Amino acid sequence: MDSFDLIAIAPEIILAFIASDLLLTSAFIKEAKGHLSQDVFHTPKAASFVYYGACLLLVGLGIAFLFRIGDLPYYAMYGLFQSDPVANLLKAASCFALLLSLIYSKQYLIDRGLFRPDFIVLTLFALLGQLILISGSNLLTLYLGLELMALSTYGLVAMRHNSGLSSEAAIKYFVLGALASGFLLYGMSMLYGVTGSLDLIEIFKAVADPRINNLIMAFGLVFIVAGLAFKLGVVPFHMWVPDVYQGAPTAVTLLIAAAPKLAAFALLFRLLVNTLLPLVADWQPMLMILAVLSLAVGNITAIAQTNIKRMLAYSAIAQMGFVLLGMLSVFDDHAFSASMFYAVTYVITTLGTFGLLMALSRKGYDCETLDGLKGLNRKHPWFAFMGLIMMFSLAGIPPTVGFAAKLSVLEALVDANFVALAVIAVIASLIGAFYYLRVVKVMYFDEPVGEHSISGSGFSRGILGLNSIAILVLGIFPAGLMALCLDVMRSTLLGG
Segment 332-336 shows an average pLDDT of 75
Q: What is the pLDDT of residues 47-103, one digit of tens each?
A: 888 999 999 999 999 999 999 888 888 888 888 888 889 999 999 999 999 999 999
Residue 369 scores a pLDDT above 90: no
Q: Name the band, by pLDDT with cuts 50, 70 and 90, for residue 281.
A: confident
Q: CB neighbours of 24 closer than 8 A, spacing ≥ 6? A: none
Coil, strand, or helix at residue 232? helix
Q: In angstroms, rounded to a whole number, what is the distance separating the alpha carbons of residues 31 and 209? A: 65
pLDDT at 451: 67
DSSP codes joined into one string, 390-441: HHHHHHT-TTSHHHHHHHHHHHHHHHTT-HHHHHHHHHHHHHHHHHHHHHHH
Residue 43 scores a pLDDT above 70: no
Q: Name the band, by pLDDT with cuts 50, 70 and 90, for residue 290.
A: very high
Domains of the chain, residue spans: 3-495
Segment 150-176 shows an average pLDDT of 85
For the chain, give the percent of residues with pLDDT over 70.
Answer: 95
Q: Name the band, by pLDDT with cuts 50, 70 and 90, for residue 239.
A: confident
pLDDT at 204: 87
Instruction: Identify the top-confidence range among 234-243, 361-370, 418-427.
Output: 418-427
- E strand residue ranges, 19-138: 74-76, 81-83
Coil, strand, or helix at residue 362? strand
Q: CB neighbours of 218 closer than 8 A, spacing ≥ 6? A: 282
Q: Name the band, by pLDDT with cuts 50, 70 and 90, for residue 37.
A: very low
DSSP 447: P
Q: In angstroms, rounded to a whole number, what is the distance separating the alpha carbons of residues 306 and 395? A: 17
pLDDT averaged over the chain? Answer: 87
Residue 404 scores a pLDDT above 50: yes
pLDDT at 213: 73
